[in-house]
Amino acid sequence: SIAPLAQVVGADECVPLRAGDSARYANLDYAASAPALTAVAQTVQASLAQYASVHRGAGHLSQVTTRRYEEARETVRAFVRGRVDDAVVFTRGTTDAINLAAHVTCGDVVVLDIEHHANLLPWCAPDRTGSSRVRVVPACATIEDTLAALDAELASAPAALLAVTAASNVTGEVLPIGRLASIAHRHGARILVDAAQLVAHRRVSMVSHGIDYLVFSGHKLYAPFGAGVLIGRADWLDAAPPYLAGGGASASVDFGITGADAAVEWHRGPARHEAGSPNVLGAISIAAACTALADIGFDSIGLHEEALRARLDDGLAAIDGVTALRIFDDSTDRVGIAGFDVAGHAPRAVAEYLSSDAGVGVRDGKFCAHPLLKRLGHPDGAVRASFGLGTGSDDIDRLTDALTRLTTRARTS
Ligand code: PMP
């Protein structure tokens, strides 16, 4: 059997079952939000006990907090191998980070139709000069053909940016981000990588993959909700007006004598887009998660997740009526996400059965990726199981055993 690789909070949580007894909660919904690592929770607890305002305070605790907040940027930069001059902007999450990227980007943006809505909808509005901009490329049956289609699209007309997911939140399939970056750069475009589903599972190197912008969320990286990151080239960020107007973003403000037209000088650097009192605990918790994952090491993480992945794939393949969702015929690398369909059972009914009869938490629905679910032939949704460092083989077995019971019961009744 496979034991969890790291301690997460809430691992011993018990949930009531329909039969009247209870079971340890088997959390197979890491792709939505991963439970905090115990090490991260401890850092947050310690920081809560000792924090004060950032940037504007002269007091000792303000200075300590400011230092921790700024150090968090450097920890994140090192974790994803960012360039020294990349801006590390703390945001509310991936959605917020991509909206910020859309705010600073001028020109056309090319996306695939397999994206999470967070990497589709922000690009649908015109850029700040008023030009309309999104060009959606349908993914092909293979990754190779999809790369060729993107290459052709970028060759057909200039684009400022290629915005792609690093790993599908529906199927877990990993895209070749280094090759995507080369294609974008060959045509004079930059690349933004939505790494929400990748950073907790694979070593990312912005430098060696050639990533211009990387975005991700803390709550999928074993840190609490409410914080995320946009890291990347500073020039577009410094050229755009602040994402939010307010204190912290402004270097000087003067209303003059006559009234309302404020003369404002905005900061350059990350502060420009971080108006208001920042989510210091969020930033510190992301940094703590980066440190904890680096300590565990991506070699160990990879081995652990590969073993669980094989067990889940084999378990699902052995159940009559269960079909795994796949975008590409030639994908070989997948993170710990399995989207699947159970013939004859609505996704919601499957998820409810797993919860109330087996204490297994999965997700059902369209996963904020409606165009993808449609092209996969499941416009009404599917079921998704996903796992990570706090998962053991027992959790996987409970899922596949319960699905076997559900499908067998349906056939014999
Ligand atoms: N992109 C992907 C690939 C995701 O899986 C998610 C979360 N499901 C998001 C973006 C949005 O992340 P958040 O909700 O943290 O903003």
Q: How far is the CA of 30 from the centre of ligand 1 (A)?
A: 12
> Helices H, strands E: what count in the chain?
13, 17
Q: Is the CB of 194 under 6 A from ligand 1?
A: yes
CA of 97 to the centre of ligand 1 (A): 10
pLDDT band at 156 (very low <50, low <70, confident <90, very high): very high
Percent of the chain predicted with pLDDT > 90: 90
| Site to substitute for ligand 1 among 94, 96, 120, 121, most atoms within 8 A of C-beta | 94
Q: Are 189 and 168 in contact (CB under 8 A)?
A: no
Q: Are 188 and 160 in contact (CB under 8 A)?
A: no
Residues with Cβ within 8 Å of residue 340, at least 6 apart in sequence: 316, 322, 323, 324, 325, 382, 383, 384, 385
CA 303 → CA 2, 20, 253, distances in Å?
A: 11, 37, 54
- The complex scores an ipTM of 0.99
Q: Where are the domains of the chain?
A: 14-36+297-412, 40-295
- Single pTM value for the model: 0.97
Q: How far apart are the C-alpha atoms of 9 and 32, rounded to whole Å?
A: 16
Beta strands in 63-219 (DSSP E): 87-91, 109-112, 134-137, 161-165, 190-194, 213-217
- Hey, which of 169, 175, 219, 285 would you mutate to test ligand 1's pocket, going by the most ligand atoms within 8 Å of its Cβ? 169
pLDDT, tens digit, 9 for 90 and up, residues 246-298: 888 988 888 765 656 678 889 999 999 999 999 999 999 999 999 999 999 99
Q: Is the CB of 217 under 6 A from ligand 1?
A: yes
Give distance in angstroms: CA of 253 to centre of ligand 1: 36
pLDDT at residue number 257: 58
Q: Is the CB of 355 under 6 A from ligand 1?
A: no
Protein residue with least CA distance to atom 4, ligand 1? 196
Q: Is 14 assigned a catalytic role?
A: no
Compute and round to an integer the Cα radius of gyration of the chain.
23
| Residues 6 or more apart whose Cβ sits within 8 Å of residue 35 | 8, 9, 10, 11, 27, 222, 390
| CA 310 to chain centroid | 23
| Closest Cα to atom 5 of ligand 1 | 169
pLDDT value, residue 285: 98
Q: Would you say domain 40-295 falls under CATH 3.40.640.10?
A: yes
Is it the case that residue 55 has pLDDT exceeding 90? no
Mean of per-residue pLDDT scores for the chain:
95
Please pick, among 106, 124, 140, 368, the residue that the annotation labels catalytic: 368
Domain 14-36+297-412 has CATH 3.40.30.10: no
- pLDDT over 70, % of the chain: 98
DSSP string, 183-245: HHHHTT-EEEEE-TTTTTTS---HHHHT-SEEEEEGGGTTS-SS-EEEEE-HHHHHHSPPSS-
Q: Is 94 in the pocket of ligand 1 (CB under 6 A)?
A: yes
| Fold agreement between 14-36+297-412 and 40-295 | no
Does ligand 1 have an atom closer than 6 angstroms to the CB of 116?
yes
The predicted structure's pLDDT at residue 263: 84
What pLDDT is recorded for position 133? 85
The atom of ligand 1 lying closest to the CA of 225 is: 15
Whose C-alpha lies nearest to ligand 1, atom 8? 32
pLDDT at 259: 58
> In the structure, what pLDDT confidence band is assigned to residue 56 with cuts at 50, 70 and 90?
confident
